[in-house]
Copies of this chain bind each other. A is one copy, B any other.
Amino acid sequence: MEKKYRVGIDLGGTNIKVGVLDEDDKLLGKKSGKTDPYKRDWQEVVKDMAELTGALLAELGIEAGEVLKIGIGSPGMIDHINGVVKFAGNFGWSDIPILAELRRYYDVPMRLSNDANVAALGEAVAGAAKGARHVLLVTLGTGVGGGVISDGHLQEGGSAGAMELGHTLLVRDGEECTCGRKGCLEAYASATGLIRHAREAAEADPQSKMHELCKGDLSNMNGRIPFDAMRLGDAAAKRVVDNYIRDLGEGIINFINIWRPEKILLGGGISNEGDPLLDPLNAYVKPRAFAGERGYVAPIERAVLGNDAGLYGAASL
């Protein structure tokens, strides 16, 4: 029996998603269920992963013996070497030996990696960076995540807590980061950072159109509002967006000076802003990267796989 199908599992705070890829990296089907990590033991979550996998394989008419490998992408701090979730704050998990448990159900090679790494790998396998050997994905959500493929190898670091691209410095002694350090890129370039800065700017300017767009309550602020207000000619919002582009741009310049990726992708909620974000971001970054015109600076583009990136990537670990 030819082992030609790969299973990818995307473990999220809300849902467990499972997908099956064939040897051409085609996603043959997917299935999902609730994660509910707070309502039950982690062993139950792993059991659901196994059952969703079994149900999907059955639907697709694939036998367990045809499965080449299973990969899991998980949020949190991952010990990829031992297949352990060292810490996942949004699950309340510490030192969870997730692969050892899943091996009770399937006897195939398995790998576990961080969700941002997995998303980068997904884009490199089947998305916007298909075929590229040097890839950077920066995800702009609640935090700033990142994944890197270097010379075809997914970068996972020497031990748990690596590739935390959001926790590199933008401003020494700058704004407080959730990690305890001050001035991390994440404190500025995450959706959370953007929203905080937009709120502060609106508070300081009672005339700002951001108040209307928040329906008079700044707790309604989201990552789109400063962009929308800027397009309405709001000066305070434009400053927020300009600063955001500068800060994200400075972070990306750091990563260019380290990896010189062939492909630079943005994912996560803020990336949906599209060209109004990408055009000024590219204009900011290109002339400031090390060695100027002598060096190649890849254009910053949007990731294309969206929520499926995790399935493609996990199946390809």
Binding site for B on A (CB under 8 A): 77, 86-87, 133-134, 150-151, 153, 155-165, 167-172, 174, 179-181, 246-247, 250-251, 253-254, 257-262, 288-292, 294-296, 298
Contacts and interface: CB of A to CB of B under 8 A. Distances in A.
A315 to B, nearest CB: 21
A186 B246 CA distance: 20
A158 B134 contact: yes
A180 to B, nearest CB: 7
Contacts of A134: 157-159
A161 B170 CA distance: 21
A204 to B, nearest CB: 21
A291 B77 contact: yes
Contact of A159 (B160, B250, B295): B295
The 8 closest A-B pairs by CB, nearest first: A134-B158, A161-B295, A162-B260, A157-B260, A168-B254, A161-B291, A164-B257, A158-B260
Contacts of A151: 153, 156, 158
A245 B253 CA distance: 24
Given A170-B169, A254-B169, A290 B260 contact: no
Contact of A157 (B181, B259, B294): B259
Contacts of A258: 157, 162-165, 168, 258
A276 to B, nearest CB: 23
Given A77-B294, A155-B150, A179-B290, A161 B257 contact: yes
A158 B262 contact: yes
Nearest to A295: B161
- Most interface-central of A160, A162, A288 (chain B CB within 10 A): A162
A296 B253 CA distance: 27
A242 to B, nearest CB: 14
